[in-house]
Structure 1
Amino acid sequence: MHRRGRPPPGTRGGTARGGFARVSRPGANGRSLTVPDANTSPTPAVRVARAEQARAALRAWNGYDPSPADEAGLDAELDRRLAQARQP
């Protein structure tokens, strides 16, 4: 770590300053800020674990516990909306 808990410039710090340092390097572009690295994308197993944790938290908080039929309906609605958003 750098002083005050900040990572050195040009390293993978999760701050705007770190992002600016990455973009300002020669040959870098704005995509380096918006496109996540493959190393930072969660694996399918991690996504499943996070989804289970979120469901458990929702169930404990407000009793949310959809049936498989409810989930299928929600998935279909999400697919419909995504398809609609992709149309020109």
Structure 2
Amino acid sequence: MDGFETYKHLFVGEDPLDITRHVKAIETANFHGAHYWPLEAALWDIIGKVHGRPVSELFGNAAKRLPAYASSGELKSPEERVATALKVREAGFAP
């Protein structure tokens, strides 16, 4: 997380289970141009591990299944892109 040293003091040494406090600090850092959403994901993972539950349960198990998607951000010729799209479709991904 680029630039984290500036905000590190807001998190290191604090209770990782105090998610409300951390989310407020992350939102404040984000307001000032940081992008520390991975830190929130890591904190939820810690909370789940402490309680012996998957994070999905912490959020109410709203979805039992999630659709997968295929994406390609690679630079390819039009012909290569068509070939990739056909392979992805053959693998079962919906258009």
Query: Shorter-chain TM-score: which interval?
Result: 0.3 to 0.5
Q: TM-score, normalised by structure 1?
A: 0.34
TM-score normalised according to structure 2 size = 0.33
| Bigger helix fraction | 1
